[in-house]
Amino acid sequence: MFQRVTLRSFRTARPFRTFPIRTRAAVMAAGLGASVALGAGVAVAVGVTAVPGTESTAGAVRAQAVAQAKAAQAAQAAKAAKAAQATKAARQAEVAAAAKKAAAARKAAAVKKAAAKARKAAAARRAASWIDPVKTYRLSARFNQAGSHWHARHSGQDFAVPIGTDVVAAHGGTVVKAGPNGAGDGPAYGNAVVIRHADGTYSQYAHLSRIDVRIGQVVTTGQHIARSGDTGNSTGPHLHFEIRRTPDYGSAVDPVAFLRARGVTV
């Protein structure tokens, strides 16, 4: 049953039986090397790996820093935007205030211009129109009325007013007579004034208590010229008013009709 094995036969025998052993040895060696290599790798890996939790903490710190930086940038941007908005609002307020001031100035200028225009128009109307020689009065002796007080007939219209009443020019013109003794027309008129007008007519104011114009003076419609009185041939305080064709006595026309024809309510 047993085969005798000699050295020769051993050497010449087929090595199929030893191959598995060598193979297993090689595999075992390889495995051992792999294990050693793997162990060394694991050891090296363990040597360089951070402590558990450190990496996540560092990441959280970095994330927090980034978030804080972004928040600071956002806050700075918001602050800058707010400052810009405030500057814009202030500028808009300045522009609005300047516009309001300019509008007020334009309005004031327009009002001033309108007032000046109104005054000019009123002056033009006064220059072109006639008015009553006194403001408040009562008509007394009328034109061409007969009576013992006059040499012939009454040459004007009497306006009953208190002494010292303001007497004005019934129309603009130039003073050609002014003084006592009827300004040259006779003592019956007392203190008197005669004004020449551009249309060739003359107005006379008599029985005055005071004369406030002089010969050659240019007056406007409604301008103060004297104070009413009771001088000359007078039966009481009043203004004797005439419209004449010449500066002298004897050329008078009905003053009431004359004034009414020019739109004056007498």
Q: What is the pLDDT of residues 209-239, one digit of tens each?
A: 999 999 999 999 999 999 999 999 998 999 9
| Distance from the Cα of residue 20 to its chain's centroid | 116
Residue 190 CA to residue 192 CA, distance in Å, equals 6
Q: Write the CB contacts of 246 (distance below 8 Å, at least 6 apart in sequence).
A: 202
Give the burial string for 232-253 (b: 16+ CB within 10 Å, else e): bbbeebbbbbbbbeebebeebe
For 80, the token pair is: 């800058």
Residue 151 CA to residue 250 CA, distance in Å, equals 11
Say what the pLDDT of residue 169 is: 98
Asked if 98 contacts 131 with a C-beta cutoff of 8 angstroms, the reply is: no
CA-to-CA separations, 60 to 51, 53, 161, in angstroms, rounded: 15, 11, 109
Say what the pLDDT of residue 29 is: 43
Residue 63 CA to residue 170 CA, distance in Å, equals 100
Say what the pLDDT of residue 181 is: 97
Say what the pLDDT of residue 58 is: 86
List, for the chain, all residue ranges whose pLDDT scores fall below the cut of 70: 1-53, 123-127, 147-151
Asked if 132 contacts 264 with a C-beta cutoff of 8 angstroms, the reply is: yes
Task: Just give the CATH number of 138-261.
Answer: 2.70.70.10
